[in-house]
Homo-oligomer: A and B are copies of this chain.
Amino acid sequence: MKIVLLGSGNVATHLAQALKSKGEEIVQIYSQNLNHAQLLADRIPCESIDNLKAIKTDADLYIIAVKDDAIESIADHLKAVSGLVVHTSGTTDIQVLSSKVKHAGVLYPLQTFSKTKEVSFEEIPLCIEATDESHLSILQNLASKLSQQVYHLGGDQRKVLHLAAVFACNFTNHLYTLAHQLLQQNDLDFEIIRPLIKETADKVMVSLPEKVQTGPAARGDETTLNKHFSMLNNMPELQHIYQTLSDSIKFMPK
């Protein structure tokens, strides 16, 4: 299968490496910034371009791994191709593609990528969708080579998943940041709290989170809740977050 990759960010980079490692043929990488495209293309190796008019038209698969708001304008340049065109976005409708290209699909990897940290692609859930059955099965074959977890999801489910991921990943990481802020202000190193963060995540690998909730709000310990609230008197934003999340824990059905 000949693949054209459009994008050179975190998702594109990890996807390119995973595809390469499975012996898939990436024939071209596009980026607005030619240096970025070239840097990634050199690792494959393959052609790099920064001009959408230079996209090869005979590939089997076009993977658009760019910012959500740039997907549509790239699809405009793929109207002529007969291969399958997929995006990798959690929130973008498949219609954004299917209204423009002949065969549209979605290949959404549910993971947080950073350019510096390696991830094992085989452990990343891949959510796929396509406008017709034959292309869904092409996508299924490819996704199964890349990952052990492949899910067929409609657009509504995929969007919910993306929203849930914001809670479980982005918001969670921000809470780590707020914890770090508190520690820093009191000359405590972030290192001290790392084992706790790790164990908190490890616990829900085998249990459901609602079964292992601990802390003052969960046990209705008003004395500690009040102490903590007072300690945040000079940090109204953290105080508000403390109150909001503690209330949410308290009123959670058990």
Contacts and interface: CB of A to CB of B under 8 A. Distances in A.
Nearest to A190: B208
Interface string A153-197: 100110111011111111111111111101101111011111111
Interface residues on A, range: 35 or more
Contact of A210 (B180, B208, B216): B180
Name which of A119, A172, A249 has the most chain B CB atoms within 10 A of its CB. A172
A200 B201 contact: yes
Given A167-B175, A213-B177, A123 B241 contact: no
Identical chains in the assembly: 2
A164 B231 CA distance: 11
A245 B176 contact: no
B195 A124 contact: yes
Contact residues of A: prevailing secondary structure: helix
Contacts of A208: 180, 190
A133 interface: no
A183 B164 contact: yes
Interface in A120-153: 123-125, 149, 151, 153
Interface in A96-121: 110-114, 116-117, 119
A110 to B, nearest CB: 6
A218 interface: yes
A57 interface: no
B186 A168 contact: no
A33 to B, nearest CB: 17
Given A69-B223, A249-B174, A205 B198 contact: yes
Contacts of A248: 174, 178, 237, 241
Interface string A236-251: 0110111011001101
Interface of A: 68-69, 91, 110-114, 116-117, 119, 123-125, 149, 151, 153, 156-157, 159-161, 163-180, 182-183, 185-188, 190-210, 212-218, 221, 223-224, 227-228, 231-232, 237-238, 240-242, 244-245, 248-249, 251-252
